[in-house]
Structure 1
């Protein structure tokens, strides 16, 4: 039997709006368990988790993995009542800030994304993302790294949205050359970039290091535009790094991004650059 530290789920963040839903799932699990005539220890043993972990889930202090609800539904003959919350728990297990970002990205019809330090999260492979979290200081626990990596990968659902959003990426050359995690991790990452660049709704460009003029000296830029004509943007070097939505502020970010795109390699040149970089590995 494992202790459930990584496998059973994650603790609810204090004040998170998903807390009432997690508590409701916990109460439902307890009701189903009692209706089945099982004790906490019996359910814990049957599921392969620690008794304390099951108690935390029933108290609403722990977010259960969807897989746990699936197994519990079958074991307790809950007739799909526990399974009905699987998707809610799948979303709830991601950090609040990631859920909020994923919600915005899911509504966007156009995204302008400039990355100056790392490859953008929407473009990352699981291995690359995991490596970034492994290098975080202070060091993250295994549980947190797993949670953050899974959350980042879940955001990539934007590539499957209908209608598909228009995505424009500009990446600094150095982000394609720094071998985080080793050459094999970088190789797979570059191969993934070439795959994504083939999508009709994606434009991927590379900003060469040797450019004498560069409009991106103030760092990361992100602009998300929505179907109702509104937008939200952020840049490390503008507006104190805070998200902005006023048209005047957004025009500044779009102007900078437009200049960055003009100064970068064309999409075709960028693809050739990635292929050459891949060939040197």
Structure 2
């Protein structure tokens, strides 16, 4: 019975906790849907907990211990699985992206975090927190660069992003920072590591005008959509909601420039910023 021991926090606590949850659920003779009903969540939510793509919150840990008869096992161990250097509203999304097989994302006002350079991330972080100590800003930059390590794998996850032209025209950090940011983006494209499309100004009205869109797919777990605002964010697993955001992304790719023309525009913009830098 899993109530007798703690998880080793050095061995991917979320994955281990998910495996223990699956074991306890099956031992209790419950399906994911049946357990979800007792916790007032969907069966897919339980599947995401078991797959390690979703963080176990304390209130659900308490209910799991009650329903599955695991004493206080999940309550004791969810704290280890929840430790993160990222803000609470974003930590779960970061954890999910490390398990994703595909990430499709639209951003309207800035280059996506996974594709940022340290200098660009520093300029963005400083703009968000103009009075923060330098150490706090550097911690934010370090966290963002750590996220980008998932691109070290040559094929996984598939990263397909649509970037609004406004994000590329906004001179974040100055011409030198923008030159470096765009050249980094161009390098990732040329290495076939990411697919990038630029949504030009003349595309007109589009489904992403009210914010960013991110949909993540996984092996062995249902997809998730992440909705983000200022200092807030939420993972959605409702199939209809995820399907709607996936459709939004497809509309955006249809309205955006093709990858080849997007690359040509990025190269021209990088050259322009480079000229400004040396003017």
TM-score normalized by the length of structure 1: 0.62
User: What is residue 129 of structure 1 aligned with on the other side?
Assistant: 121
Structure 1 position 210, deviation (Å): 1.6
1:156 is aligned to 2:156: no
Q: What secondary structure sits across from 2:203 in the alignment?
A: coil
Q: What secondary structure sits across from 1:272 in the alignment?
A: helix
Q: What secondary structure sits across from 2:151 in the alignment?
A: helix
Structure 1 position 102, deviation (Å): 3.0
Post-superposition Cα deviations, 1:39-90, rounded to whole Å, max 9, x if no partner, equal xxxxxxxxxxxxxxxxxxxxxxxxxxxxxxxxxxxxxxxxxxxxxxxxx9xx
> Which structure 2 segments of 5+ residues have no match?
1-8, 14-79, 274-279
Structure 1 position 172, deviation (Å): 0.5
User: What is residue 190 of structure 1 aligned with on the other side?
Assistant: 182
Counterparts of 1:252-263 in structure 2, within 5 Å, are: 252-263=244-255
User: What is residue 231 of structure 1 aligned with on the other side?
Assistant: 223
User: What is residue 234 of structure 2 aligned with on the other side?
Assistant: 242
Counterparts of 1:273 and 1:173, CA distance in 2:
10
Post-superposition Cα deviations, 1:191-225, rounded to whole Å, max 9, x if no partner, equal 00101112334210000012124221221001111
Residue 95 to residue 216, structure 1, CA distance change in 2 (3 Å): closer
Indicate if the aligned counterparts of 2:215 and 2:225 stay in contact, CA closer than 8 A.
yes
Indicate if the aligned counterparts of 2:94 and 2:147 stay in contact, CA closer than 8 A.
yes
Counterparts of 1:220 and 1:265, CA distance in 2:
18
Q: What secondary structure sits across from 1:180 in the alignment?
A: coil
Structure 1 position 103, deviation (Å): 2.1
Indicate if the aligned counterparts of 2:108 and 2:211 stay in contact, CA closer than 8 A.
yes
> Which structure 1 segments of 5+ residues have no match?
1-16, 22-87
Indicate if the aligned counterparts of 1:171 and 1:205 stay in contact, CA closer than 8 A.
yes
Counterparts of 1:1-281 in structure 2, within 5 Å, are: 99-137=91-129, 139-161=131-153, 164-236=156-228, 242-281=234-273
Structure 1 position 128, deviation (Å): 0.4
RMSD between aligned alpha carbons? 2.7
Q: What secondary structure sits across from 1:210 in the alignment?
A: helix
Residue 236 to residue 145, structure 1, CA distance change in 2 (3 Å): closer
More helix by share: 2
Residue 94 to residue 213, structure 1, CA distance change in 2 (3 Å): closer
Counterparts of 1:138 and 1:260, CA distance in 2:
33
Q: What secondary structure sits across from 2:128 in the alignment?
A: coil
Q: What secondary structure sits across from 1:194 in the alignment?
A: helix
Indicate if the aligned counterparts of 2:182 and 2:266 stay in contact, CA closer than 8 A.
yes
Counterparts of 2:266 and 2:154, CA distance in 1:
29
Structure whose alpha-carbon radius of gyration is higher = 1
Indicate if the aligned counterparts of 1:165 and 1:201 stay in contact, CA closer than 8 A.
no
Q: What secondary structure sits across from 1:118 in the alignment?
A: coil
Structure 1 position 165, deviation (Å): 1.2
Q: What secondary structure sits across from 2:143 in the alignment?
A: helix
Q: What secondary structure sits across from 1:131 in the alignment?
A: helix
Indicate if the aligned counterparts of 2:122 and 2:141 stay in contact, CA closer than 8 A.
yes
